[in-house]
Structure 1
Amino acid sequence: MSARDDLLAIPDEVLRSGRIGQAALVFMDFRDAPKCWWTGFGDLDAAGHRWQGLGDLISVSPISTSYQVSAQKLTFQLAATQEMIALALDARHRVRDRTVTVYLQMFAMDGQAVGGVENGQPLGSPLSLFNGAMQKIAWAAEGSTSRQLTLDCKGVFFRRNSAPRGRWTDSDQKARHPGDRGFERTPLYANNYQAPWRR
């Protein structure tokens, strides 16, 4: 079912009640320890996952909803817990280039059940707001009591100008065309190498 069909399946009286809230759901695919967080309190069961209320997630930078083919950036503030610090220290292997997705989830809010939908119940499936890859976790400390972790992420288009296997290297050329030896001598020419001509 598409997102449009999912929204159309919500009863009309619920949509017109004016009692609809929203929250962000955040999935971070850390190696060995994927995390599902949402910007509310307590645990939430939605879309086949259990989302932890806030947890180690402190804030999310603003997300642009314009539809453009650009490399969006997103920044998360994370709590400096032991687990998050361990991820920061091993970011190259457990964090870098791993998937991050931010969803928008609508909820029935404030008041009695309307159209058979209970208060606080998720409405429809989550709508994807941001898809990208986690990059690095930067950390900072002020004195002995204040620590801060910042996770930088880039949108799915941040490598759009880099063709797969697009380098002029011997390994990339052989991956494109097995057995091709056209780039074997490329490293020799990097420093003004001149091949001697023979008569």
Structure 2
Amino acid sequence: MSRADLLAIPDADLREGRVQHAILVHMDFLDAPRRWWTGWGDMEHDGYVWQGTGDLISIAGLESNYSLNANQVTFSMTATPEMVANALEARARVRGRDVTVSLGLFAEGAPSPMASFALFAGTMERMPWALEGTTNWTLTLECEGLFARRNAPPRGRWTDADQKARHSGDKGFERLPLYANGYETKWRG
């Protein structure tokens, strides 16, 4: 969302509280990307149809500040055993894929947002599940923000594979495993 989008919202609507909001989520699953929002029914926005989930999915850890923190966002829902089994089989289609959470601003009674802006961008990671009692299943999707690994250098390990990725043909770390257990090189003079 641009500054112009925000300025296009009528001042009277803002002052009188006639602007509502909803969360819009895009999950880029490997074979079937999904767009959903926290309202009811389907909605068209930005050329896509967003599926309404109502209060079926809850979101934890979502903040609207613009600091460069490595926040984690968690989506959770009440599930059936079949849903948990399907989710566990789908790990390869989910893990490491992009997720974007946006805030959509609606005029009172409008069918789609006047404007939306991103609150969180990251990747989908773990999918733990829990069983409370005998029938209450909960399925969770943990997502890491874009800055989760900002302090880790790319290819930051001292391994032969990382060194060859940095400089192809370099043989500097080929013998490193030999030295890990106290191997000493004897130099001849």
Category of TM-score, reference length = shorter chain: 0.7 to 0.9
2:43 touches 2:112 (CA, 8 Å); kept in 1? no
1:47 touches 1:126 (CA, 8 Å); kept in 2? no
Q: Does 1:127 align with 2:126?
A: no
- Aligned position for 2:35: 36
2:38 touches 2:55 (CA, 8 Å); kept in 1? no
Gaps of 5+ in 2: none
Q: Does 1:157 align with 2:147?
A: yes
C-alpha separation in 2, matches of 1:123 and 1:41: 14
Shift of 1:35: 1.9
- Aligned position for 1:178: 168
2:38 touches 2:54 (CA, 8 Å); kept in 1? no
Q: Does 1:193 align with 2:177?
A: no
Gaps of 5+ in 1: 110-118
Q: Does 1:87 align with 2:77?
A: no
- Aligned position for 2:126: 136
2:20 touches 2:107 (CA, 8 Å); kept in 1? yes
C-alpha separation in 2, matches of 1:42 and 1:22: 15
How do residues 92-131 of structure 1 correspond to structure 2 at under 5 angstroms?
93-109=92-108, 119-131=109-121
What's the secondary structure of 2:163's corresponding residue? helix
Measured against aligned partners, the alpha-carbon deviations of 1:87-144 in whole angstroms (never above 9, x if no partner) come to: 23342x12221111110001111xxxxxxxxx22334332000111111111112344
Residues 57 and 34 of structure 1: CA distance in aligned 2, closer, same or farther (over 3 Å): farther
1:132 touches 1:153 (CA, 8 Å); kept in 2? yes
Shift of 1:174: 1.6
C-alpha separation in 1, matches of 2:164 and 2:135: 54
Aligned length: 188
Shift of 1:11: 3.6
Residues 28 and 56 of structure 1: CA distance in aligned 2, closer, same or farther (over 3 Å): farther
Residues 11 and 56 of structure 1: CA distance in aligned 2, closer, same or farther (over 3 Å): closer
Shift of 1:53: 0.8
1:20 touches 1:106 (CA, 8 Å); kept in 2? yes
C-alpha separation in 2, matches of 1:131 and 1:22: 19
How do residues 47-86 of structure 1 correspond to structure 2 at under 5 angstroms?
47-54=46-53, 57-80=56-79, 82=82, 85-86=85-86
Instruction: In structure 1, give the amino acid aligned to 2:87.
Output: L
Q: Which deviates the most, 65-74 or 151-160?
A: 65-74
- TM-score normalised per structure 2: 0.87
Residues 128 and 52 of structure 1: CA distance in aligned 2, closer, same or farther (over 3 Å): same
